[in-house]
């Protein structure tokens, strides 16, 4: 029997799972943390927080499972995407990592858009230019922290930092690298055309591997810190959206998922690069050389519910779900717009803010909680509609992320999206995807399809749209879109006022 570790580096916490080669999870541990927001629009973190969480959870899993470290054949990663980690010549971090939800770099976004024609942006980037992406954050450091910029000798993405700490090697994978706005997605290499125009040195960008490629083994120093064996193979891994798809068994053309993590996505597996001239969806490399993933992304999905629970100081999610279940669809005439960190799909605007419309004297905490769930679902409906107009509309979606643990949120999602939803048996789809990559990369399975067949199972229940809720939700989604169009300029002005006062 072989054993595999999957390490899932999220925005608000890190989880490590240990599986056997039959796909059974025999140990798991979670370490929560908060990112830092020293100013309005900033989102950053000391990468050592991730390493401490990694060490803590690995040690806990080894202790819980009682599996000898030398029996763990391989490990791999799923990681929050887009963020920037910068190293100096000695391999030390130059400054705190800038995360995907950071919105400080609006001027750099505008500068990139002015430096490239619309046709060039479509053909070179193949994605909208947005704050929080590695290349944009790197330009911000260049413009605002020149002393730090001069120190930089290598950059990577968040989960790549953990691989560095475990192996001493700074590398990345194609899926995460393709989500930096510095990458040639068709050619699967760093883009000479982009880096030259932006005057970014190509030598600071790391070598890249396929998601299932073995990269190195655990170093002796990391083994001493974690309790792992120096014989354990470290496999490249990938960005969280790609790894969640693997963990849900979604590896074939047209397979679709809806995810409610800190951010949210509606995504589809595709067999060739898709160019969206509107540039309001994302398209990145997936787990292999002939795989890509297309998706629409909303910035604040689970983050919206976390915001609301923080406001009302409620940590009992079971009680919150019960309160939501007691509220009728439509939340008593409330509409929530989940733009707490700006929005990517469909608005591609980091300078808008969230809002709650329709408050009245009868509004309850449960009604607002339901409105938050519905608002996130409306945002994901916007994502789905864009993808479907591009020709991607499956007969079902697999739901994942923390939101998939709420039956109430799942029913709201299926009612608003209008598609049946299934849920994996495992609640740790991203970590499971990392374990699957480790199993494939170490030769436990011949290919990722065989590994998914062994690891992925679905719950017996399927959530179906309720016909009686369709007209109301269609009406509310129309109000949601029209309401935003009317108030968007005000939201932008309020965001700028808030940043001035921060």
- φ and ψ at 425, to 5 degrees? -60, -45
Please compute the mean of the pLDDT values over residues 308-330 and round it to a whole number: 92
| Distance separating alpha carbons of residues 190 and 207, to the nearest angstrom | 9
Does residue 416 register a pLDDT over 80? yes
Q: Is 337 helix (H, G, I), strand (E, B) or coil?
A: strand
Exposed/middle/buried for residue 36 (C-beta within 10 Å: 0-12, 13-18, 19+): middle
pLDDT tens digits along 356-376: 999 999 999 999 999 999 999
Quick one: pLDDT at residue 401?
A: 83
92-129 confidence digits (pLDDT tens): 999 999 999 999 999 999 999 999 999 999 999 999 99
Which pLDDT score, from 0 to 100, does residue 418 have?
95
Give the helix/strand (H/E) hosting 379. Answer: helix 365-389
Q: Is-contact 274 390, C-beta < 8 A?
A: yes
The reported pLDDT for the residue numbered 41 is 87
Active site residue 240: yes
Q: Find out whether 338 and 301 touch, Cβ atoms under 8 Å.
A: yes
Would you place residue 276 in the very low, low, confident or very high pLDDT band (cuts 50, 70, 90)? confident
Compute the 3-state secondary structure of the chain and give helix, strand, coil in percent, each to the nearest 5. 40, 20, 35
Output phi, psi for 364, to 5 deg.
Answer: -115, 170
Q: Greater confidence, 351 or 243?
A: 243
Instruction: In whole angstroms, give the CA distance from residue 383 to residue 257.
Output: 12
What pLDDT digit, counting tens, does each position of 204-230 carry?
999 999 999 999 999 999 999 999 999
Work out the pLDDT band at 313, boundaries 50, 70, 90.
Answer: confident
Give SS3 for 15. strand
pLDDT score at 395? 79
Span 428-444, average pLDDT: 96
CA 273, CA 285: separation in Å to the nearest integer? 8
Is residue 69 packed enough to be buried (19+ CB in 10 Å), middle (13-18) or exposed (0-12)? middle
Residue 274 pLDDT greater than 90, yes or no: no
pLDDT band at 502 (very low <50, low <70, confident <90, very high): low
pTM, two decimals, is 0.88
Average pLDDT, integer, range 326-338: 96
Q: Which residues contact 471 (CB under 8 A, 6 or more apart)?
A: none
**For 267-336, where are the alpha helices, taking DSSP H only?**
302-312, 317-325
291 CB-near residues (< 8 Å, 6+ apart): 251, 269, 270, 271, 285
The band of 272, judged by pLDDT with boundaries at 50, 70 and 90, is confident
pLDDT of 136 reads 98
pLDDT at 231: 97
Query: Residue 185 above 90 pLDDT?
Result: yes
- Residue pair 41/496 in contact (Cβ under 8 Å)? The answer is no
Please check whether residue 115 is in contact with residue 108, taking contact to mean a CB–CB distance below 8 angstroms. no
Distance CA 225, CA 249 (A): 33
Q: What is the pLDDT of residue 439?
A: 97
Task: Taking residues 263-291, report their average pLDDT.
Answer: 88
**Is the pLDDT confidence value at 68 over 90?**
yes
Provide the mean pLDDT of the chain: 94
Number of H helices, E strands in the chain: 17, 23
Domains of the chain, CATH where assigned: 3-241 (3.30.420.40), 250-423+466-502 (3.30.420.40)
* From 8, 102, 160, 240, the catalytic residue: 240
* pLDDT tens, residue by residue, 460-495: 999 999 999 999 999 999 999 999 999 999 999 998
Residue 83: name the closest of 172, 207, 211, 186 by CA.
172
Residue 158 has pLDDT above 70, yes or no: yes
Question: What's the average model confidence in pLDDT over 47-61?
Answer: 98
Please report the pLDDT score of residue 143 as a whole number: 98
User: Quick one: pLDDT at residue 499?
Assistant: 78
């Amino acid at each position: 029997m072989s054993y595999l570790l999957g390490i899932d580096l999220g925005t608000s916490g890190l989880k490590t799972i240990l599986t056997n080669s039959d796909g059974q999870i025999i140990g798991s541990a979670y370490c929560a943390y908060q990112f830092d927001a020293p100013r309005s629009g900033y989102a950053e973190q000391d990468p050592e927080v991730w390493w401490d969480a990694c060490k803590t959870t690995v040690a806990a899993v080894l202790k819980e499972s009682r599996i000898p470290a030398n029996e763990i054949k391989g490990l791999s990663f799923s990681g929050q995407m887009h963020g920037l980690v910068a190293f100096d010549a000695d391999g030390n971090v130059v400054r705190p990592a800038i995360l995907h939800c950071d919105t400080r770099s609006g001027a750099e976004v505008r500068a990139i858009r002015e430096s490239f024609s619309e046709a060039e942006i479509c053909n070179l980037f193949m994605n909208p230019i947005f704050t929080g992406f590695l290349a944009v954050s790197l330009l911000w450091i260049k413009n605002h922290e020149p002393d730090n910029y001069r120190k930089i000798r290598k950059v990577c993405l968040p989960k790549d930092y953990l691989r560095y700490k475990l192996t001493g090697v700074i590398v990345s994978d194609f899926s995460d690298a393709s989500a930096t706005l510095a990458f040639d997605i068709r050619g699967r290499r760093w883009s000479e055309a982009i880096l030259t125009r932006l005057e970014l040195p190509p030598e600071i960008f790391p070598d890249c591997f396929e998601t299932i490629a073995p990269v190195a083994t655990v170093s002796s120093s990391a083994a001493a810190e974690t309790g792992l064996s120096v014989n354990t193979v470290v496999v490249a891994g990938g960005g969280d959206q790609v790894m969640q798809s693997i963990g849900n068994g979604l590896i074939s053309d047209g397979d679709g998922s809806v995810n409610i993590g800190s951010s949210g996505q509606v995504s589809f597996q595709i067999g060739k690069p898709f160019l969206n001239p509107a540039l309001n969806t994302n398209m990145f490399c997936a787990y292999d050389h002939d795989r890509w993933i297309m998706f629409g992304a909303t910035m604040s999905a689970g983050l919206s519910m976390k915001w609301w629970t923080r406001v009302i100081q409620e940590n009992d999610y079971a009680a919150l779900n019960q309160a939501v279940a007691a509220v009728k669809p439509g939340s008593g005439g409330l509409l929530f717009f989940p733009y707490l960190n700006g929005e990517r799909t469909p608005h591609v605007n980091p300078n808008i803010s969230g809002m709650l419309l329709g408050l009245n004297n009868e509004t309850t905490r449960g009604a607002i909680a339901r409105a938050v769930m519905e608002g996130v679902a409306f945002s994901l409906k916007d994502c789905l509609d864009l993808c479907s107009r591009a020709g991607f509309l499956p007969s079902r979606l697999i739901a994942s992320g923390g939101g998939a643990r709420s039956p109430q949120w799942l029913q709201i999602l299926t009612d608003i999206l209008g598609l049946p939803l299934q849920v994996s048996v495992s609640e740790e789809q991203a970590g499971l995807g990392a374990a699957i990559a480790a199993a494939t990369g170490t030769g436990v399975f011949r290919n990722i399809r065989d590994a998914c067949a062994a690891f992925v199972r679905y719950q017996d229940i399927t959530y179906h749209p309720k016909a009686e809720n369709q007209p109301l939700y269609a009406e509310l989604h129309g109000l949601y879109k029209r309401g935003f169009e009317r108030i968007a300029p005000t939201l932008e002005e309020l965001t700028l006022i808030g940043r001035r006062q921060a």
